[in-house]
Amino acid sequence: MILEAKSITFYYRGRKKSPVLNNYSISIRSGERVGLKAPSGRGKTTLCRLLAGYEKPQSGKILLDGKPVTAYRGVCPVQMVWQHPETVVDPLLRLGETLAEAGPVDERIRGALHIEEGWLSRFPAELSGGELQRFCLARALHPETKFLLCDEISAMLDLVTQAQIWKFLLEEAEKRGMGMLVVSHSDGLLEKVCTRIAAI
Amino acid sequence: MKTAGRMNRRQSTLIFLVCAAGVLAVVMIMGIALEDAALETDFSRTNLAPCPEYLFGTDWMGRDMFVRTLAGLSLSIRIGILTAAVSAVMALLLGTAAAMLGSRADAVISWVIDLVMGIPHILLVMLISIACGRGFAGVVAGVSLSHWPSLARVIRGEVLQLKQAPYILAAEKLGASRIANVRRHMIPHLLPQFLTGTILLFPHAILHEASVTFLGFGLSSEQPAIGVILSESMQYLTTGRWWLALFPGLCLVAVVILFALLGERARMLLDPSSVHE
């Protein structure tokens, strides 16, 4: 499969004069891990949101195998993992319910991400950012996910946990032939994880 | 730490809620039962000061003030419940409509909210009440048509925020249907705000009902309303019959405070930020 952004232009409402992305193109194939590195405010997160179908570009197209990414019904094959996990889980739901949002999560994934049984009955406010990020990852690694967009997913984690999570993600991507977009400020991480680096 | 045998905050709050609601319900039911007794005149017992037999004394027509007060409070509570319910439903509908139906609907509804909020409540209640022919219908229309904007604004803001919440967007991308999202994510966030907003409307509604009636633009004078009692009693205050106005006034304040506390406690129980305290 191939996920492409074809000459997209995007600006937030009322800021037509300074578009976040101007005539930008990128493509990611299955099995590819593309690194994205740019200073703050250049539209890395916006690009992720666009590719995952959270926003629509003002011009240009975002296609998954030639079909607009927003046209996919049910579980979207392009899943995004957000930089701030605490905003992506409902504060009033126990994490077990949040995790099961798109059907039960594989025991193997849960184990590999070190999600403890006891966490499932807790509320998000009781866990740390790093612990919540594991839930977001587990949820995003739905069997139907073909592309995973990682928006600085490990910025708030300690090095040991980072290594753990990335090791698992790489294995998983390899096994499924999943395409990935990795946004990070860390050169070392991008070098280690990605098959190629793109600019924005 | 919680110690054995003592209740935690949640339990004591719950007990308070039940008691307060119970007291208000008892007042309401007793008032309905005593409605006829409240109108009963007996010229053999006029102008009695408070005594064990007539707790709140009697008035110049020999009516038992305790019974009248109860009947008046009951009427006030019933009007309060009715108007708060009507206001809350209006607020819910308009607030959600403003948030969901696009920017043009939002502009119109927000403008109406500002308009209604810009006019002093009491003035608006009086105007609508007069336009609707005073009496029961006038008061209910006046109070319910003037109290919805603040709650509508809260609901509009809440829905707007929820619509953009990342966890709801993410759930959508994970294949959750619209209805599932509303049920699972939106209602649990909206309901506490809505319920407490509704309960906190009661004290306002009751006070405004009593004040328009007091000013003579509300319920007609043969009805045993607190506003009527107070305005009639004002004439007798200078002649030294203090009990005619004091006790009904105090009772009105007590009911209003009880409702306000009820709302405050309900908020503490339901509000996400204090629900785990």
What is the DSSP track for A169-197?
Answer: HHHHHHHHT-EEEEE-S-HHHHHHH-SEE
Per the prediction, chain B carries an average pLDDT of 85
The answer to whether residues B245 and B234 touch, using CB atoms and an 8 Å cutoff, is yes
Distance CA A6, CA A27 (A): 8
Closest C-alpha among A130, A86, A82, A135 to residue A110: A135
Please answer yes or no on whether B175 and A89 come within 8 Å at the CB atom.
no
CB distance A147 to A181 below 8 Å: yes
Read off the pTM.
Answer: 0.80
Interchain contact A82–B (C-beta under 8 A)? yes
**Cβ within 8 Å, pair B167-A139:** no
Among chain A residues, the shortest Cα distance to B271 is held by A92
More confident residue, B98 or B9: B98
Q: What is the pLDDT of residue B113?
A: 94
Residue B1 binned pLDDT confidence (cut-offs 50, 70, 90): very low
A165-191 pLDDT per residue, tens: 899 999 999 999 999 999 988 888 888
pLDDT in tens, A85-109: 989 998 888 888 888 887 788 888 8
Inter-axis angle of helices B65-100 and B135-146, to 10 degrees? 40
Q: What is the CATH number of domain B2-40+56-276?
A: 1.10.3720.10
Q: Nearest-CA neighbor of B73 among B135, B113, B29?
A: B29
Interface of B with A (CB under 8 A): 165-171, 173-176, 184-185, 188-189, 272, 276
**Model pLDDT, residue A25:** 92
Q: Tens digits of per-residue pLDDT, A24-45?
A: 999 999 989 999 988 888 889 9
- For residue B191, give how far its alpha carbon lies from the nearest alpha carbon of chain A (Å): 12
Report the chain B residue with the minimal C-alpha distance to residue A88.
Answer: B167
pLDDT digits (tens, 9 = 90+) for A108-160: 888 888 888 899 999 898 888 888 998 999 999 888 889 999 998 888 888 88
Tell me the three state secondary structure of residue B168. Answer: helix
- High-pLDDT (> 90) share of chain B, %: 24
